[in-house]
Structure 1
């Protein structure tokens, strides 16, 4: 047997998928850093999307924020206030990018199938088949409902039933046009929606926009197995990732689907350095910036359920007991106190210790090896990176980690197709008109 034939018979190297989420106004983003950009300036969106495309990423994800977060009845001044509507921003990005997928996180609680299906189908045409929809299933009626239904929201008991019917209805609309470009009347009559008429946007270049579902719960896994093309999960240990991966893939057969028809992607953060030790130092400094004194007090107030504005964040934890009306407050406060006492930590140091850490920390070669291990060991099909800075937080990863992944054969060296479905290796949807 020749060496050439031996190489041909070797199994193909499993390659990972990569995406990036535009950082939000949560605790991961360091808006105080002088290098931080804007959450409303189009230049920030364009820079991050262009960097991701230069790095050959699968898609760029932009979250929805239909109402600013509040604290004590006031807009939370630690957040970057203001967030443009995602499909609008992605439509503008479609004109200045060529290959990268454009994914909008949009909720099913306060939108309607026809108007959202129409916007996403339009984005798919404008982008040449690169549109995706991250289905947000939370109803969040106590907070968001006042913006949409005069103070009322949806029943929180079963958001997945509405979400499932919402996705099914959107697909009925997208499929109401034949592949040959002929519109046909549609009619859907269900528990949550009753719509009929003629959809006015032809079938898109990739058949339908890619559907993404985020979450790790049993309901979220089942919803993804039944209706999604991609599931976004939380980052855990390698073993936890393997268990989740096997569980999600194992649910697909019940819906007549194959394992390759649903991609499992973990949402992760990263910190780089010239050496592993330097990366650890960088990570510690970033955590200090992420948990400012004000954010530490905010985190403690959410646990204690009390006004702690006069408390010293660099002093000890509050001696007063939490408000028992706050769910799990006593147990969480007891855990915090145990950590603070064991390590001699202040309130702020305790918040840094007990809240989330960066997922992958190290020199570029170390991070590349860690990411590759998760994929080859069956813990994920890929990752959605969340940089801690806007808009340049992905630059170093694209320049220093991506080439190492390519050298390992773990990531593409060029885009093989034009649509997002092609990037993800997803089959074209079968027309069911």
Structure 2
């Protein structure tokens, strides 16, 4: 039986507590040199793509800008277009919102990026759920979850019609006159549905890939169904064997009802890693990294998101609050954390208190434990084996790696783990194609007639 080939990508982690800001090697998250170093490292490792997240508004907590967001993030399309000039094969994936943007604008930006990069663009389609973010836009407010995904599906289909409005053969040369003849209908489009009523002429020729590769990140029932119907890859939060296999089987099992095969949708969990010469040294380093990622102040911020209260007067190195969380609308945080992360805050608080009492954990130590996401910890050989085992067991098709040091944190993985995967014959030694669809093993979609 042939072994599956592993897909690897790299996530520039953005503004959050994943990055160990106190490390002297931590660099800027806004200077282009950071993005260029990160992208060149990923390409040196023959990764499929680089991924950028996107936030449309700074989060707030207790009425103040959430401190881990202050540095912000440059515009996604600007960064990816610049990276297209300093890379040759690496895919360029950006998160673009379907709730507050418009199909014509987004299609034009992705078609342009695909041309500039010779077919390496990808779009992570996301929705927004809160009116707080919507205040930055003329069309504010928010949509219910089912309505958000309906708009996203209509939005995506509208962009496909725009890409397909140029079939690629509209411009031909008349040999006798030397005049270029154009199909008078090239670029014309019309779309009318529950959310859009647009018609006109698209002014960018069909992209090299036909359409950008489509990614989706939702884990809800609506998100999984949207991915099965429309996406080329789905980000997963499940990087363990049991949970990963369950998610993999569920999402892949939905494809047939849309006339799709299992190899037409890739499942790629995000994954962190900590490397050292030995497993024991890596475990010690991982513990140190987690304490750097969750300072006392950060622990209080995380706890407030569960308790829905101001906990600034509590000692992070002391016990958990004895008071119960405030149930209902989250008023302590606005933005990405404004939707309650815990379905039953009272039950979660009881569980946290019991765990803290049993293990004699302080509030900070408890937060470190419950928010930990260190997926791969060990020597290069251990990490390579763990990654391969999960992929071969159909817990994923590969991983999107998130280093804790930016921009240089990806280098040790590329230098020490990638060669071991190549020796196993489960990861490419070089790029076989030129486009992102080539890297991912995806066929180019045909233009609509």
Q: TM-score under structure 1 normalisation?
A: 0.94
Q: Is the 8 A contact 1:211 1:230 kept in 2?
A: yes
Q: Is the 8 A contact 2:165 2:187 kept in 1?
A: yes
Shift of 1:142: 2.5
1:81 aligns to what SS in structure 2? coil
Mapped to 1, the partners of 2:355 and 2:291 lie a distance apart of 17
User: Which residues of 2 match residues 71-150 of structure 1 at below 5 A?
Assistant: 71-137=61-127, 139-149=128-138
Partner of residue 396, structure 1: 412
User: Which residues of 2 match residues 215-234 of structure 1 at below 5 A?
Assistant: 215-234=218-237
1:54 paired residue among 29, 44, 47: 44
1:285 paired to 2:276: no
Partner of residue 363, structure 1: 379
Partner of residue 58, structure 2: 68
Runs of 4+ off more than 3 Å: 153-157, 324-327
Q: Quick one: structure 1 residues 150 and 185, their matched pair in 2 at CA, closer, same or farther if it must change by over 3 Å?
A: closer
Shift of 1:157: 4.5
Mapped to 2, the partners of 1:36 and 1:427 lie a distance apart of 39
User: Which residues of 2 match residues 181-220 of structure 1 at below 5 A?
Assistant: 181=170, 183-220=186-223
Partner of residue 343, structure 1: 359
User: Which residues of 2 match residues 375-386 of structure 1 at below 5 A?
Assistant: 375-386=391-402
Q: Is the 8 A contact 1:39 1:80 kept in 2?
A: no
Structure 1: state its 5+ residue gaps. 1-10
Mapped to 2, the partners of 1:149 and 1:197 lie a distance apart of 23
Partner of residue 8, structure 1: none
Mapped to 1, the partners of 2:3 and 2:72 lie a distance apart of 43
Shift of 1:156: 4.4
1:148 aligns to what SS in structure 2? coil
1:294 paired to 2:297: yes
Q: TM-score under structure 2 normalisation?
A: 0.91
**Cα-to-partner distance string for 1:113-160 (whole Å, 9 max, x where unaligned):** 0000000000000000000000012x2222201101375333445211
Q: Is the 8 A contact 1:60 1:102 kept in 2?
A: yes
Mapped to 2, the partners of 1:169 and 1:30 lie a distance apart of 41
Structure 2: state its 5+ residue gaps. 171-182, 331-339
The count of residues paired between Structure 1 and Structure 2 equals 422
Aligned residues: CA RMSD: 1.4
Partner of residue 347, structure 2: 331
User: Which residues of 2 match residues 314-329 of structure 1 at below 5 A?
Assistant: 314-325=317-328, 328-329=344-345
Q: Is the 8 A contact 1:276 1:363 kept in 2?
A: yes
2:199 aligns to what SS in structure 1? strand
Deviates more, 1:293-302 or 1:114-123: 293-302
**Cα-to-partner distance string for 1:185-210 (whole Å, 9 max, x where unaligned):** 11110011111111001011111110
Q: Is the 8 A contact 2:146 2:222 kept in 1?
A: no
Q: Quick one: structure 1 residues 236 and 13, their matched pair in 2 at CA, closer, same or farther if it must change by over 3 Å?
A: closer
